[in-house]
Amino acid sequence: MPIFSWSARGDVPPVGDPAFDGLLAGNLLPEDTAGGLRPVAEVIAALNAPPVTSELAAEASALRAFRAAGRSGEPARSRPRRHPLLTSLLSAKLAAAAAAAAAVGLGGAAAAAYVGALPAPAQKVAHDILGAPSAHPTPSATPVGPDATGPAAFGLCTAFAHLKAHGSAAEQAVAFRNLATAAGGAAEVTAFCAKVAHPGTTPSAEPTTHPTGKPSTLPSQVPTGRPSGKPTTHPTGRPSTLPSQVPTGRPSGKPTATR
Amino acid sequence: MGSDLPAKGSALARGAVDAVVLLPLSGGRRIGCGRPDLAPILACVIGEEFGPVLAAAQDGSEAAFAVLWRDVNPVLLRYLRVTAPGAAEDIAAETWVQVVRGLPGFRGDERAWRAWLFTAARRRAADEGRRHSRHPVASLAEVPGALEPRTEDAAGLAMENLATAAAIAAVSELPPLQAEVILLRVLAGLDTEAVARIVGRSQGAVRVAAHRGLRRLGQTLTRTGVTL
């Protein structure tokens, strides 16, 4: 059973054809095309098919990396940096492998039409895992999401406020389920969030002491990117100082060229 | 576009409903991620909510970061499966670690965001020297058990995978530059100018490479017919 309906034969447009630009910009759908362009349009549509589990399997580890970098609203800076990142990378790979194996293992009759359809990595993963005696067909990990009763509540509420107006499946997302649980029900989220204070405004009293002296440790990271713009000011005028040294020695050789 | 798309009876339109983790967002120009009634022609794009979602992620919201991650990771993986076969998951994970670190300093719209992500992934792939290890695509018949029939639901889920995998395999057959510019255009949703900057070529060269790639793709697919 073919998935792509490119039994239709026809000339492929020449390089420079405006139809190619329509395909590349996503403005041309397979049903708008004919002849040799149709299979190309279907490939592009297939490239942009909705995500599948294997492509979203690493979400938990991505969120762990987010937390490990101290971006999650909770103070995580005292933790060692390297370990969580490595853990995240490893579990990302494992989760993807498990999900890919599940997808491939469930390949079904449709697979017969697609001899040679799998890319090598999926092939290897499938082989490794399908060949193992104790492989499980489905990944067992369940996304847990951030704890909405903790310091993440403010961030969750902020995002929720942005998403609420659009009424999509927002409430069903894991994070928002947690938020709803913490609030005591989906209907209570708005009231709950109204009471969540910004993390920066929580302390009720000013600190009584102020740090003095220099920090004992240096920042552990150096900037990795380059400046994105040019300097906004340019030097004008002459240098205010002259070079402090004059040449002291004599030239050691004769000029080698003359006019 | 989107809501007026006919719900085709094809595998593409049916979608992998059960496989898709629900996205909290459905706004934007190219809607329909995970929604079988709105078959997308291009990948999920957050659209006008991008600014607020980015700001929330920069404030530390994990939920907002998850929205950004779910939007890009699938297409990032598909890009890397062509340009860095065998290392796609690793490079994607490393890219996100880098992105998380740079997140507070990022300024720009969604196009700049995607350009940043794909640029980071591309550099990482090049750094690791993995980009040129393009493996030949293996035959599905060699996978033990892969051809055994299973239940209808499972077949629906797998077909979605296979259509995308088949498309990735077809693009992988193209010369590297042609494959890459096509993927950056249609997966990252970047225009010719942005792609030219990323691959370090002129806009004219990018446009020609993309057109040559599409033409070659069409010739190959037409010649080989249904069996790809």
DSSP-assigned states of every residue in B46-105? -GGGHHHHHHHHHTT-HHHHHHHHHHHHHHHHHHHHHHSTT-HHHHHHHHHHHHHHHGGG
B54 occurs within a structural domain:
yes
Which of the pair, B54 or A202, is modelled with greater confidence?
Answer: B54
Q: Which residue is closest to B97 within chain A, CA to CA?
A: A65
B132 occurs within a structural domain:
no
Determine which of A64-68, A90-94, B60-64, B217-221 has the lowest per-residue pLDDT on average: A90-94
User: Chain A interface, mutation test: which of B49, B65, B220, most A Cβ atoms within 10 Å?
Assistant: B65
Per-window interface: A 229-258 vs B, CB < 8 A: none
Residue A45's nearest CA partner among B222, B187, B34, B224 is B187
Q: Which of A65, A69, A172 sits opposite B22 (nearest CB)?
A: A172
Same domain as B183, residue B97: no
Same domain as B61, residue B100: yes
Q: What is the pLDDT of residue A23?
A: 92
| CATH of residue B175 | 1.10.10.10
B59 occurs within a structural domain:
yes
B56 occurs within a structural domain:
yes
* The last residue of a domain, from among B112, B127, B142: B127
Number of domains in chain B: 2
Same domain as B18, residue B88: yes
Q: How far apart are CA B46 and CA B194, in angstroms?
A: 19
Q: Which residue in this structure is represented by tokens 């994990």?
A: B62
* The last residue of a domain, from among B76, B111, B127: B127
Which of the pair, B111 or A167, is modelled with greater confidence?
Answer: B111
Residue B187's nearest CA partner among A162, A250, A240, A24 is A24
Q: Is the dihedral of CA B188, B198, B216, B165 positive or negative?
A: negative
Q: Answer yes or no: are the C-beta atoms of B179 and B213 closer than 8 Å.
A: yes
Q: Which residue is closest to A74 within chain B, CA to CA?
A: B60
- Residue B162: which domain range? 153-227
CB contact under 8 A, B146 and A130: yes
**pLDDT surpasses 60 at B137:** no
**pLDDT surpasses 60 at B111:** yes
Q: Which of B10, B142, B226 sits opposite A7 (nearest CB)?
A: B226
Count of Cβ atoms closer than 10 Å to residue B61 Cβ: 29
User: Chain B interface, mutation test: which of A61, A87, A104, A114, most B Cβ atoms within 10 Å?
Assistant: A114
Per-window interface: A 175-214 vs B, CB < 8 A: 175-176, 179, 199
B148 occurs within a structural domain:
no
Q: What is the pLDDT of residue B202?
A: 97
B114 occurs within a structural domain:
yes
Looking at every residue in chain B, the average pLDDT score rounds to: 74
DSSP string of A166-219?
A: T-SGGGGSHHHHHHHHHHTSGGGHHHHHHHPPPGGG--SS--SS---S--SS--
* The last residue of a domain, from among B92, B127, B162: B127
What mean pLDDT do residues B169-182 have? 96
Is the ipTM value over 0.85, yes or no? no
Q: Which of A26, A72, A120 sits opposite B60 (nearest CB)?
A: A72
CB contact under 8 A, B97 and A152: no
Q: Which residue is closest to A73 within chain B, CA to CA?
A: B60
Residue numbers of chain A with a pLDDT score lower than 50: 1-3, 5-8, 74-84, 86, 101-145, 162, 165-172, 174-175, 200-207
What mean pLDDT do residues B14-35 have? 33
B198 occurs within a structural domain:
yes
Q: Which of A27, A103, A130 sits opposite B161 (nearest CB)?
A: A103
Distance from CA of B110 to the nearest CA of A (A): 16
Query: Is A5 part of the contact surface with chain B (CB cutoff 8 Å)?
Result: yes
Q: Which of B66, B159, B165 sits opposite A119 (nearest CB)?
A: B165
In chain A, residues with a C-beta closer than 8 Å to the C-beta of B210 are 20, 24
B183 occurs within a structural domain:
yes
Q: What is the pLDDT of residue B225?
A: 61
Which residue type is seen at B209? A
Q: Hey, where are the domains in chain A?
A: 1-49, 53-131, 153-200
| CATH of residue B97 | 1.10.1740
Reported pTM: 0.52
Band (B101; pLDDT cuts 50, 70, 90): very high
- The alpha carbon torsion through A154, B35, B190, A226 (nearest 10 deg) reads 20
Q: What is the pLDDT of residue B162?
A: 83
In chain B, residues with a C-beta closer than 8 Å to the C-beta of A176 are 24, 63
CB contact under 8 A, A71 and B65: yes
